[in-house]
Amino acid sequence: MSSWTAKLREAGVSALPPEKLLPDSQPAYMTSAIYLFGALTIGALVTIIASGSILALKGPTWWHVQSIGHFFNSIHLWSVELFFFFMVVHLWGKFWMAAWRGGRARVWMTGAVTFLVAVPCAFTGYISQQNFDSQWIATQGKDGMNSLGVGSFFNVLNFGQMYSYHILLLPLVVVGLVSLHVLLVRRHGIVPPLPFSDAATAAPKP
């Protein structure tokens, strides 16, 4: 095998054979509703990207002047609210079932970093609103960034820079990390529930 394409294909199929990539059944413990929240988070992310794409096509001031623009802005805002709501419940569920067990450390880490990147992704949206609220948040954020010594790299008073971060750079990172997170889940499988402790399963003392 000489070509890099063949090597890449072999490595991909070896790491994620089709029956693992797109399984047609899942373990019985996945009947619990707590396992829904990862998929709900992805559903909210798809809505964010779709509504955000429409807002990006029409420009940042569209939602101020047309009711249909206001409608899509509201879809965008509330899908972000749901995204974080579902992601936090997903995070709590995975934390309390110690989801990094069984060689799943990278699954846990990609999820945690996605959460950390999603926060500035949302914050840059708040300062892209083009209203008094965004001006207030930007002036407060400026002091925060300067106190960290990164004000010359991330100028929150520069609308163009923050808008680029919000609609391109940070969403690319979030979508990339979520894709990697899902592929790692497919590779390692859904984490099983924690086993009962010996104390919990032991027969009661007479």
Partner 1 sequence: MGALLNLNHPAHYISWHFFQMSVPNAVVIVLMLVVFCAALYLRAPGARKQRGPK
- Where along the sequence are the contacts to partner 1 (CB under 8 A)? 25-28, 30-37, 81, 85, 88-89, 92-93
Nearest approach in angstroms of CB 83 to partner 1 is 13
Give the number of other CB atoms < 10 A from CB of residue 129. 18
> Cα(104)–Cα(46) distance, rounded to whole angstroms?
25
> Cα(165)–Cα(154) distance, rounded to whole angstroms?
10
Nearest approach in angstroms of CB 123 to partner 1 is 15
> Cα(99)–Cα(94) distance, rounded to whole angstroms?
5
Instruction: Tell me the one-letter amino acid at 171.
Output: P
Name the residue nearer to partner 1 (CB basis): 43 or 151.
Answer: 43
Q: 3-state class of 135 per DSSP?
A: helix
Nearest approach in angstroms of CB 53 to partner 1 is 26
Name the residue nearer to partner 1 (CB basis): 37 or 62.
Answer: 37
> Cα(113)–Cα(130) distance, rounded to whole angstroms?
29
Name the residue nearer to partner 1 (CB basis): 37 or 123.
Answer: 37
> Cα(118)–Cα(121) distance, rounded to whole angstroms?
5
First to last CA, the chain: 68
Nearest approach in angstroms of CB 178 to partner 1 is 20
Nearest approach in angstroms of CB 96 to partner 1 is 9
